[in-house]
Structure 1
């Protein structure tokens, strides 16, 4: 019997998934619907975490964790807030040109931390809104308004403006009128952004912009197979929390006889192999203890358990095998990897929970830990915060493994289908869906 068929395993996963969802009940503002970036007191809202929360509500309804009417009301509260929030080029607005600032005051929605108008974080917010709208398809006044507002928010995003005259989308903008110098070029979480930008019915970008994005992809050959490299795990996972890439391929993937789903399977295997090799000699690393991604950690030089001094990187997008590695791991990696390598990820999860039991508090996992640092137990240093992005990713990826719910919803959303088609994707479910419309 395989690991994922055991009743006790499913019960454990269900508890972790439900606890992750409850982050969005506990750390959101009831008046604005905004979701806190982290569980730390005083944390501002992250618009990306808010988007993950919107996509998590359909899962919670289907699992019986929240009443449909309550979930719809919470989603509607959030969408009403963004629809009514002020758009303008001054620093005190909530957004501009249909995009929103990365971090907002939880209650007022004012820009905080001098954050940028973020194209990728707005994409995650809009993806969540569209997913919720696809699920709440009832005839009630509340669900009808919810769908109307989700469409309004998506359609007012000016993706063409975000090109700023270039061939790829900029990472953002700052008031009173300065675009960030960096652009989304080469494999990244912005795969989701490009799908939404191409699918827009109002101010879309064009297929050549996607071609310019993919032209900078870094391809490696590993054991005779082509691999699209990105060191940090979240880069592979964020777009696939929403989109089922099994057997659908753009030109680059067709030319190399692979797809983004299989590419992520290879990325997980590479991370596990790096942990097993453990070239830097960090504590605990093995094939069942891995997870190199963006997370917080202490910053500066620290003495490790074995007496060595190690420079820790603070908040950093860690990655493997060709990325930053300071001994800090994300414990949520096995949960988020379940759709891709279920047996390996379940084995890793139960190794993690048995070897490092203090990581699990109220059935939730923290943003990161470093077992090489001294501590009260084998866990070493543990982040004292929960991170909204992590919790939402866990909810969605577990559900895509269990039922495919989120993938099923987005397969029916015109914006996703149109965006994928304009990007040159074909095959699999996309071809059969396009034949029906």
Structure 2
């Protein structure tokens, strides 16, 4: 029997939330990047967990005490873990390595100190700071640690002498040559950096970032372009962009929320057009983003040579596209376009059966074009769950159903300060500013 949409979403949210309970290190609270045995922790997934625990309390998935324990564990770990130039440290200048060993918490895989993944970690910490507001020793410590971690991040160092922010740094080679330029998930990074009371980004950094934007028309829709769908979502987990605009969006007479809505429709229209002729693409089978895939391998299928990738940043409409669909990224678009998201989620649950025998809701991705030995009409299905996929499902379902996380974060002084320094005006931001002045 098919359940009502709201019930289906609540069930999916609860199942997905379990990832953060069962894939956490008992030693330090770090969250595994994915469920493959021996895999390291992801600091971005850990930040998403810190934001998800309060939602779990509010939804009665866990008790408040059950949420306090892992929150305190992980915040204490990050505050006391080694920061320095040693190659096996946990971070440097208030930022942290992208991947950490699940047991020791030290750098894994010679990875970089990541500015964007640290952004998601700190956003999760600030969520905890807002939610845990009681006058107990434990909740006071959560607030103090979250604030201290945020204030320690040296955003000015992360500019490496330029206007925009570097992707990251390695002790062996210094700063990565790439910078956060072009519209993407770094919208949250710049707002967080601008709002810092200790090492704030200059306002010119935001202007420099916006100057690299690309406004395009794709599938008959004009929007601020970014190819992978997740780039239109992650900043929106924490910030309610409805009705607030920076200079760029005032010129276009839309806001970033509307832009993400348009990006969602571009995805569906691309799947309906299906220019590369992949199996099962259509109005209820879309969602192309950075995701796991069945490759790397080249196969000839029905006379067509196909190149299948593994984990890459797939995008629309310029690719890469190898027929791989990521259900999580569709769910995370539900606040923007529920009228096309909900039927697609229903299709994934009842037709593709992507939740069948899975402990944490949807698997990461599937590819109906790739021949699968199981004989499934929907082809290859990823064997893994990823923390970076699970978090947006939990949090964006909540934003769609209640707007709760958006409501909490509107009271975060650092985010509102960052938005104002970036030039955002209008909507709830102006109303809040007026309340502050008259209060």
The interval holding the TM-score normalised by the smaller chain is: over 0.9
The 2-side partners of 1:271 and 1:186 are apart by 19
Give the aligned partner of residue 408 of structure 2: 409
Question: Contact conserved, 1:184 with 1:190, CA < 8 A, in 2?
Answer: yes
SS of residue matched to 1:339: coil
How many Å apart are 1:367 and its aligned residue? 1.2
Higher mean C-alpha displacement, 155-164 vs 303-312: 303-312
Give the aligned partner of residue 368 of structure 2: 371
1:111-149 CA deviation, whole Å, 9 max, x = no partner? 010000000000000000001110111111100000000
Question: Contact conserved, 1:290 with 1:333, CA < 8 A, in 2?
Answer: no
1:210-266 CA deviation, whole Å, 9 max, x = no partner? 000010000124698741000100100000011110011000000110011000110
SS of residue matched to 2:223: strand
The 2-side partners of 1:219 and 1:9 are apart by 34
Give the aligned partner of residue 96 of structure 2: 100
The 2-side partners of 1:367 and 1:161 are apart by 35
Q: Does 1:12 align with 2:8?
A: yes
Give the aligned partner of residue 161 of structure 1: 157
Give the aligned partner of residue 432 of structure 2: 433
SS of residue matched to 1:227: strand
How many Å apart are 1:321 and its aligned residue? 1.6
The 2-side partners of 1:395 and 1:388 are apart by 11
Question: Contact conserved, 2:271 with 2:286, CA < 8 A, in 1?
Answer: yes
Question: Contact conserved, 2:243 with 2:427, CA < 8 A, in 1?
Answer: yes
Give the aligned partner of residue 3 of structure 1: none
- Structure 2: which 5+ residue stretches go unaligned? none
Equivalent position to 1:332, from 305, 312, 328: 328
The 2-side partners of 1:313 and 1:211 are apart by 35
Give the aligned partner of residue 349 of structure 2: 353
Give the aligned partner of residue 181 of structure 2: 185
Give the aligned partner of residue 246 of structure 2: 250
Equivalent position to 2:70, from 66, 71, 74: 74
How many Å apart are 1:304 and its aligned residue? 6.0
Question: Contact conserved, 1:189 with 1:235, CA < 8 A, in 2?
Answer: yes
The 1-side partners of 2:3 and 2:220 are apart by 38
1:254-307 CA deviation, whole Å, 9 max, x = no partner? 011001100011001000000000001100000111001001113233436535
Equivalent position to 2:306, from 304, 307, 310: 310
Pairwise CA RMSD? 1.5
Give the aligned partner of residue 267 of structure 2: 271
Question: Contact conserved, 1:359 with 1:382, CA < 8 A, in 2?
Answer: no
How many Å apart are 1:322 and its aligned residue? 2.4
Question: Contact conserved, 1:359 with 1:379, CA < 8 A, in 2?
Answer: no
How many Å apart are 1:352 and its aligned residue? 2.0
The 2-side partners of 1:267 and 1:339 are apart by 13
The 2-side partners of 1:298 and 1:344 are apart by 27
Give the TM-score normalised by structure 2.
0.96
Question: Contact conserved, 1:232 with 1:320, CA < 8 A, in 2?
Answer: yes
The 2-side partners of 1:210 and 1:346 are apart by 35
The 2-side partners of 1:357 and 1:306 are apart by 26
Question: Contact conserved, 2:354 with 2:363, CA < 8 A, in 1?
Answer: no
Question: Contact conserved, 2:293 with 2:324, CA < 8 A, in 1?
Answer: yes
Equivalent position to 1:48, from 44, 47, 50: 44
SS of residue matched to 2:260: helix
The 2-side partners of 1:379 and 1:225 are apart by 29
Aligned length: 432
1:388-403 aligned within 5 A:
388-403=387-402
How many Å apart are 1:324 and its aligned residue? 1.2
SS of residue matched to 2:108: coil
